[in-house]
C-alpha cells in the first residue's frame, strides 16, 4: 500500500512540475552578470580607473569592478559608452583610444580595437559592421567602420563634430553636435558607407538623440522653447514636440510612451500624446552643481540617476520608480558614474 501511495504521489508531483514548467519560463543567466544592470564609471580623466559595476534586476547583490576582477587588468581611462552585439559588449574607452570587446555576461575580454581609434565616443552596429564615432578635441572628426573580425573597413571623415550614433530604418545616424553645441546631423548608408546627407534642425542646438520603437528623436534647446523632433532617415522632420518655456533641457529618454528629460536638478515626465508639452515635474534630486544627474537612464520601470560628486569621491546612484517617482534604491558606485545598461 505504501508503495502504491508513493508511486501515486510521485506521479502527481511530476504532473505539477510539468505544468509549472509549461506555465513559467525560468530565465537562466548566461553568466554571472546576466539578469541585471551594468553600471559604467568613467573614472578620472588621465587615470586608468574606469570601471564597471553590476546589480541584479531586483537591485540586490551589487558587485564592483567586474571587468578588472575577471581580467586582472585595468579597463582604461574614461569609459565613455557601451554598445551590445549578441553576447558581446563593446566598451568604448575614450582617453585610452580603444574599444574593448568583452563577453557581456562574464566580462571576459575577447578582443581590443585600436586601429583608427582616436578619442572614441559612441558605437553602433548596422549591416554586420561596427561604427565608432571619434572626436578629438580640436582635432579629427571621423567614423571608423569595422567588419565582424574587427578589421578596419573604412574611415569616414567629417568636417564637423561626430557624437552619438544610432541605427534606425536601415541607416546609420550620426549626431553632429556635442555638449549642447551644434545643430546638424547626418546619415550613412551602411551598404557602401557613404554619407547620404547632412541636415540641420530649424532652430537651436541638439542636446542628445534617442531611438524609440524604431523612430529617431532629437532633443533641441532653442531660444524660447525646447523641442523634440522626430526625424526620418531622409533628414526630414516628421513631427515636432514643443517643450514650452524651457531652454535648458537635457538627457532625453523615452520609455513606455513617455518622454523623460531633465533640467537643473529636476526630472520631468510627459506623455507623448501631446505635441505641446508643459513640463511636468516628476522627481527632484539633490542639487550638487554640475555633477548632479551626471548619469541618467530610464530602463523599463526604473529611472537610474547618478551624482558624480565632482569626481572627487565615489558616485552616488539613486534608482527611482518610473511610475510614481519613489526611491527604490540608493547605492555607491565607482568614480564618475555615467551609464546604465540592461543586461538580460
Could you read off the pLDDT of 227-262 as tens digits, one per residue? Answer: 999 999 999 999 999 999 999 999 999 999 999 999
DSSP per-residue codes, 195-262: EEEEEE-SSSEEEEEEEETTEEEEEEE-SS-EEEEEE-TTS-EEEEEEETT-S--EEEEEETTEEEEE
Give residue 30's pLDDT: 87
Report the side by side order of strands in the sheet with 327-332. 295-299, 302-307, 316-321, 327-332
CB–CB of 82/90 below 8 Å? yes
Contacts of 305 (CB under 8 A, 6+ apart): 267, 285, 293, 295, 296, 317, 318, 319, 320
**Which helix (DSSP H) or strand (DSSP E) does residue 112 occupy?**
strand 109-113
pLDDT, residue 12, reads 43
- The Cα–Cα gap between 252 and 128 comes to 28
Give 111-166 pLDDT, tens digit per residue: 999 999 999 999 999 999 999 999 999 999 999 999 999 999 999 999 999 999 99
- Over residues 59-67, the mean pLDDT reads 97
Closest C-alpha among 95, 29, 37 to residue 66? 37
Distance, CA of 138 to chain centre: 25
pLDDT score for 1: 38
Q: How far is CA 25 from CA 19, 22, 87, 320, in A?
A: 11, 7, 20, 27
Does the pLDDT of residue 73 top 70, yes or no?
Answer: yes
Are 337 and 41 in contact by the 8 Å Cβ rule? The answer is yes
Per DSSP, helices labelled H in the chain are 2-23, 66-71
Q: Catalogue all structural domains in the chain, each as residue range(s) with its CATH number.
A: 202-284 (2.40.10)
| pTM summary value | 0.92
**Element at 153 (helix H, strand E):** strand 152-158
Distance CA 177, CA 201 (A): 11
Q: How many Cβ atoms are within 10 Å of 333's Cβ, its own excluded?
A: 25
For residues 323 and 251, give the distance between their C-alpha atoms in angstroms, rounded to a whole number. 18
Share of the chain above pLDDT 70, in %: 92
- What residues contact 45, with CB distance under 8 A and at least 6 apart? 77, 78, 95
Residues 258-284 have pLDDT tens digits of 999 999 999 999 999 999 999 999 999
SS3 at position 270: strand
What residues pair up with 324 in beta bridges, in sequence order? none
Name the average pLDDT for the chain. 94
CA distance 173 to 210: 10
- Phi first, then psi: what are they for 18, rounded to 5°? -65, -45
Cβ neighbour number for residue 181 with a 10 Å cutoff:
10
Question: How many CB atoms lie under 10 A from the CB of residue 160?
Answer: 17
Amino acid at each position: 500500500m505504501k508503495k502504491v501511495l508513493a508511486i501515486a504521489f510521485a506521479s502527481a508531483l511530476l504532473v505539477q512540475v510539468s505544468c509549472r514548467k509549461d506555465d513559467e519560463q525560468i530565465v537562466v543567466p548566461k553568466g554571472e552578470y546576466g539578469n541585471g544592470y551594468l553600471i559604467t564609471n568613467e573614472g578620472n580623466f588621465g587615470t586608468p580607473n574606469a570601471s564597471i559595476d553590476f546589480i541584479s534586476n531586483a537591485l540586490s547583490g551589487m558587485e564592483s569592478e567586474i571587468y578588472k576582477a575577471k581580467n586582472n587588468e585595468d579597463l582604461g581611462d574614461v569609459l565613455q559608452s557601451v554598445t551590445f552585439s549578441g553576447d558581446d559588449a563593446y566598451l568604448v574607452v575614450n582617453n585610452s583610444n580603444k574599444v574593448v570587446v568583452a563577453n557581456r555576461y562574464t566580462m571576459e575580454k575577447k578582443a581590443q580595437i585600436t586601429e583608427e581609434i582616436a578619442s572614441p565616443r559612441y558605437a553602433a552596429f548596422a549591416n554586420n559592421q561596427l561604427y565608432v564615432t571619434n572626436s578629438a578635441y580640436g582635432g579629427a572628426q571621423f567614423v571608423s567602420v569595422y567588419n565582424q573580425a574587427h578589421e578596419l573597413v573604412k574611415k569616414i571623415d567629417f568636417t564637423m563634430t561626430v557624437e552619438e550614433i544610432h541605427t534606425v530604418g536601415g541607416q546609420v545616424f550620426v549626431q553632429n553636435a556635442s555638449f549642447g553645441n551644434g545643430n546638424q546631423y547626418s546619415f550613412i548608408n551602411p551598404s557602401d558607407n557613404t554619407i547620404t546627407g547632412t541636415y540641420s534642425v530649424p532652430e537651436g542646438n541638439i542636446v542628445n538623440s534617442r531611438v524609440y520603437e524604431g523612430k529617431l528623436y532629437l532633443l533641441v534647446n532653442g531660444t524660447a522653447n525646447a523641442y523634440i523632433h522626430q526625424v526620418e532617415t531622409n533628414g526630414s522632420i516628421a513631427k515636432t514636440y514643443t517643450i514650452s518655456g524651457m531652454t535648458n533641457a537635457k538627457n532625453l529618454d523615452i520609455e513606455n510612451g513617455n518622454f523623460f528629460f531633465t533640467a537643473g536638478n529636476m526630472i520631468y515626465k510627459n506623455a507623448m500624446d501631446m505635441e505641446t508639452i508643459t513640463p511636468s515635474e516628476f522627481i527632484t534630486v539633490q542639487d550638487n552643481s554640475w555633477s548632479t544627474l551626471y548619469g541618467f537612464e530610464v530602463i523599463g520601470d526604473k529611472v537610474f540617476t547618478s551624482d558624480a560628486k565632482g569626481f572627487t569621491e565615489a558616485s552616488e546612484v539613486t534608482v527611482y520608480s518610473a511610475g510614481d517617482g519613489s526611491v527604490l534604491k540608493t547605492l555607491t558606485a565607482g568614480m564618475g558614474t555615467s551609464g546604465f545598461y540592461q543586461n538580460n
